[in-house]
Amino acid sequence: MIRALRREFRAAVLLSLVVFAVLTTLLFVQPWGALNWNAVAQSMRFGMLYAGPLMATAGAWTAGRELRRGTGDLLATAPRPAWQPYVAAWAALTAAALIGLVLACAVAAIFVHPITASGELWIPELFLCVPAYGALVAFGMALGRLVRWRLIVALTPVLTFLGILLASRRGWSAPVSLTMNAGPASDYATFTGLSSALQAGWYAAIAVALLAIGAARRRWLALPPMALAIAMSVQLASMSYDEHMRDDPAAAQQVCTTTGPTVCVPRYQEHVLQELAGLVQPMLARLDGIASAPTAVHFSRETDPGLDVTLTGRLLDPQGERVSLAYLLLSLEPDGRHYADCTPTVRGEYVAAADAAQHWLLGDIPRARQLLGGRAPDREWIAAYFAAKANCDGEAMRLLLPATANA
């Protein structure tokens, strides 16, 4: 058995490189910005959508060797159990895929920032890939063993990709949807230990069932793991969102600047704090002393500005973010923590006033003057703007606009 494992693993080394290339590419093109370990774990899980079909294809190719070589009858006369070479090939392919995963995580470690200390829950999140990879390889091998058609290898990646894509639609398969759950939530939330354990058990049961279908002489042996997988699927589907995901307190912890006007971000965005402060603080300084204007900015999960960040933790478009932040400042209360309950600036008749105030904050006085029909906004005008906004005084806001805008 050990000799067979070695031989199969040498043949499966190429799969390690393929999985590594796919997952590493996903890390560089994924849309979740700068990485933390929780984001890495969920990125690897999401990568099963692309790496999974390749694993299944490798399994189908390996399981179909007997058909291609015409050695089925010869191997049937061998004294060793028929399941041993099958399981050895499955184990080797699964191990090779996991090595590709480890190599991709090693590359990700270069870019991981020491933020979002997730209470180590990212480890069981990442561990889910072990049984999931095993299930994907077992699926391909079952196809290669049961479907006696040479072209099944070519169809396996298509069938696997479409199967994962369809099953991951929310409402169709809760476990697969959870597995593919990646995105902004990876910045500030983690899977609970119970959810990760149930998902891992679900994939493990599927892998065992598929192995029994492909290798066992008595295929009814697949029934117990299939029943377990169904039971776990029902359990996962019945759990609420709060039972699956929990906010990470360390990620939500506020981190603030120590000089200049106060700018705070959740710890998961700490890597952009200084760059963000460099954009916001000059505008806060311009508003200093103006009643009803914000004196600080406290970003949080609820008031996340939706920053676009590169893999290395830098703002993707600083100038575009500066424009967005200027508009954001016009909608904040003086303490900078909450959006104002009444913001008449968003109504159609006040768009010109909001645009003029925004350009004043950006230092683009010519454009602000153009929006106000030749009048250049000054601090007195800005103070009147914020007073009208804070008091929801539509008449006062209307008086700030040129007569043509009010017509």
What token pair was written down for 20? 């590594």
Rg over CA atoms, the chain: 29
Contact 270, 258 (CB under 8 A): no
Whole-number Å distance between alpha carbons of 377 and 171: 53
pLDDT reported for residue 78: 53
pLDDT reported for residue 165: 81
pLDDT reported for residue 28: 80
What token pair was written down for 299? 């970003």
pLDDT reported for residue 33: 56
Q: What are phi and psi of 147, to 5 degrees?
A: -95, 105
pLDDT reported for residue 55: 94
pLDDT reported for residue 70: 52
Please report, in tens digits, the pLDDT of each residue of the chain (407 residues total).
576 667 777 777 889 999 999 999 888 876 555 667 777 888 888 888 899 999 999 988 888 776 655 555 444 555 556 667 888 889 999 999 999 999 999 988 887 765 544 556 678 878 889 999 999 999 999 988 888 777 888 899 999 998 888 777 655 456 666 666 544 556 677 777 888 888 889 999 999 999 988 886 777 788 999 999 889 888 888 888 778 877 777 777 888 988 888 888 888 788 888 888 999 999 998 888 888 888 888 887 666 666 777 767 778 788 888 888 888 888 777 766 555 555 554 455 567 788 888 888 888 888 888 877 777 788 888 888 888 877 777 777 778 777 544 44
Contact 356, 373 (CB under 8 A): no
Among 28, 84, 21, 17, smallest CA distance to 50 is for: 21
pLDDT reported for residue 179: 67
Whole-number Å distance between alpha carbons of 63 and 217: 16
pLDDT reported for residue 216: 67
Adjacent-strand bridge partners of 81: none
